[in-house]
Homo-oligomer: A and B are copies of this chain.
Amino acid sequence: MAATRPTMKDVAAEAGVSTMTVSRVVNGDSAVAPGTAARVEAAVRKLGYQRDDVARQLRRTHELSQIIGLLVDDVTDPFMAAVASAAEDVARQRGSIMLIGSSRADLRREREVIAAFTARRVDGLILTPAAGSHRFLRPAQAQGTKIVCVDRAAPGLDVDAVVVDNFGAVREAVAHVVAHGHRRIGYIGDTPRIWTFGERRRGYLAALESAGIAADPALVRDGVRTGPEAAAAVTGMLALHDPPTALLAGNELLAFGALTAAPGDLAFVAFDDFALAARLTPPVTVIAQDPVALATSAAHLLFARIHGDVSPPRTVVMPTRLIRRGSGEIPGPFAA
């Protein structure tokens, strides 16, 4: 049953050589006579031998493991899925494989998964850090594990990050809605303790302040995590005595939820573009970012670090784009 896999020793016996010679052949070392190499290769095929990278890595303790780890909140978020896909593509190009884990926004879970990854000697980690301090990564970092954050910065940790200007993008979007005559503008996001949502929320408040609009706590919903929660939040806001005439949804998942509850005449802007945005009625105005570019950039940065880049940590800010499709341009009660 649990047939044990053949080792170099088995191959060596089969081919009548030493394990060292097998090692050389398996690793493409040229210093082996063609005839010998052929015999070894035949034995490899006959036994179905495959090099054991666990043993190899132990022996080569100071070489790279060629494994990276990716930690996301939740892969079912299309943004994170795009990140995962792009990161894996780069890893593959660089000859590495990728471990994936989800934190589900739970810092303890994130910690556990990261510990399991570092115990396997990953060369580096790509993180979308959950809310909370990431000081716990210091020891891993000190021992040489490279870390890059994507989409979010990690409070308490001095590492590279690839993000967008969430603050500016939302401020611009809210100003855009204000310019279309809205003053009662709702905001739905996850907890501001997640860096990205903190920034987005700040951008929202800054835009209101610039416009001389007092922020109404009833129109700001934090800690919203799922589509149904977002839908409920929208329903709640619309039931207010003085309901919002415009709404900003903090990410794709929340936008989907909000859209199931939002009437067509509510002005609407979503953070993150999505496939059918243009097909809805009205077509949805979005703040678009490019998750593939973010993740590709983050992965390249990570591999540069892994291969010895020791320059000071930097934060790369990628552009966003406000795509006006209609829902964000619905005129409000104060339209000129």
Q: Which of A137-145, A171-179, A194-202, A233-241 contacts B (4 or more CB under 8 A)?
A: A137-145
B280/A280 in contact, CB under 8 A: yes
**What mask results when residues 1 to 30 of chain A are scored 1 for a CB within 8 Å of chain B, else 0?**
111110000000000000000000000000
Collect the chain B residues with CB atoms within 8 Å of residue A281's CB: 281
Measured in the bound complex, the distance between the Cα atoms of B120 and A115 in whole Å is: 18
Bin chain A's interface residue count: 35 or more
Q: Which residue of B lies closest to A292 (CB)?
A: B76
- Is A99 engaged at the interface, CB distance under 8 Å to the other chain? yes
- Is A310 engaged at the interface, CB distance under 8 Å to the other chain? yes
Which residues in window 129-188 of A have CB below 8 A to B?
A: 139, 142-144
- Partner among B53, B67, B75, B109 whose Cβ is within 8 Å of the Cβ of A81: B75
- Is A321 engaged at the interface, CB distance under 8 Å to the other chain? no
Collect the chain B residues with CB atoms within 8 Å of residue A62's CB: 2, 4
**What mask results when residues 105 to 142 of chain A are scored 1 for a CB within 8 Å of chain B, else 0?**
00001000101111111000000000000000001001
Measured in the bound complex, the distance between the Cα atoms of B97 and A102 in whole Å is: 10
- Partner among B65, B97, B101, B259 whose Cβ is within 8 Å of the Cβ of A101: B97
- Is A84 engaged at the interface, CB distance under 8 Å to the other chain? yes
Measured in the bound complex, the distance between the Cα atoms of B69 and A98 in whole Å is: 10
Measured in the bound complex, the distance between the Cα atoms of B253 and A81 in whole Å is: 14
- Partner among B3, B65, B78 whose Cβ is within 8 Å of the Cβ of A76: B78
* Known contacts A76-B78, A276-B259; is-contact A100 B102 (Cβ 8 Å): no
Collect the chain B residues with CB atoms within 8 Å of residue A120's CB: 53-54, 67, 97
- Is A58 engaged at the interface, CB distance under 8 Å to the other chain? yes
